[in-house]
Amino acid sequence: MVSNAPAHRPQAAGLPTPMLPQPFQIQRVSQETPDTFTLVLQPASGTAPFCFLPGQFNMLYAFGVGEVPISISGDPAHTQILVHTIRAVGTVTKAIQKLKPGRVLGVRGPFGSHWPVAEAAGHDIVIVVGGLGLAPLRPAIYQILAHRAEYGNFELIVGARTPADLLYHKELERWRGRFDFRVHVTVDSASPAWRNNVGVVTTLIPRARFDPWQTAALVCGPGVMMRFTVQELLQRGVKPENIYISMERNMQCGIGLCGHCQLGPYFICKDGPVFAFDQIEKWFALREI
Q: Which of residues 227-246 bind other proteins (CB under 8 A)?
A: 228
Q: Under rule CB under 8 A, which residues in 1-20 are in contact with other proteins?
A: 6, 9, 11-16, 18-20
Contact status: 262 vs other proteins (CB under 8 A): yes
Residue 149 CB, nearest approach to other proteins (Å): 27
User: Can you tell me the distance from the alpha carbon of 110 to that of 167, in angstroms, rounded to the nearest whole number?
Assistant: 23
Tell me: does residue 124 bind other proteins (CB under 8 A).
no
Taking every pair of Cα atoms in the chain, the longest distance, rounded to a whole number of angstroms, is: 59
Q: Which residues contact 165 (CB under 8 A, 6 or more apart)?
A: 33, 131, 187
Q: Which one of 22-30, 77-85, 113-121, 170-178 is the stretch in contact with other proteins (CB under 8 A)?
A: 22-30
Tell me, rounded to whole angstroms, the distance of Cα 216 from its chain centroid.
Answer: 16
Return the residues of window 166-205 that contact other proteins according to CB under 8 A. Answer: 186, 188-192, 194-200, 202-203
CB of 250 to other proteins, least distance (A): 5
| Euclidean distance between CA atoms 148 and 168, whole angstroms | 21
By CB under 8 A, is residue 249 in contact with other proteins? yes
Contacts of 70 by beta carbon, 8 Å cutoff, 6+ apart: 57, 58, 59, 60, 84, 85, 86
Is 29 among the residues that bind other proteins (CB under 8 A)?
no
Q: Which of 55, 221, 272, 273 binds other proteins (CB under 8 A)?
A: 221
Applying CB under 8 A, among 55, 130, 136, 273 the residue interacting with other proteins is 130
From candidates 27, 79, 153, 252, binder to other proteins by CB under 8 A: 252
φ and ψ of 45, to 5 deg: -140, 145
- CA 100 – CA 39 distance, rounded (Å): 10
Q: Is 96 in the site for other proteins (CB under 8 A)?
A: no
Cβ(127)–Cβ(140) below 8 Å: yes
Interaction of residue 48 with other proteins, rule CB under 8 A? no
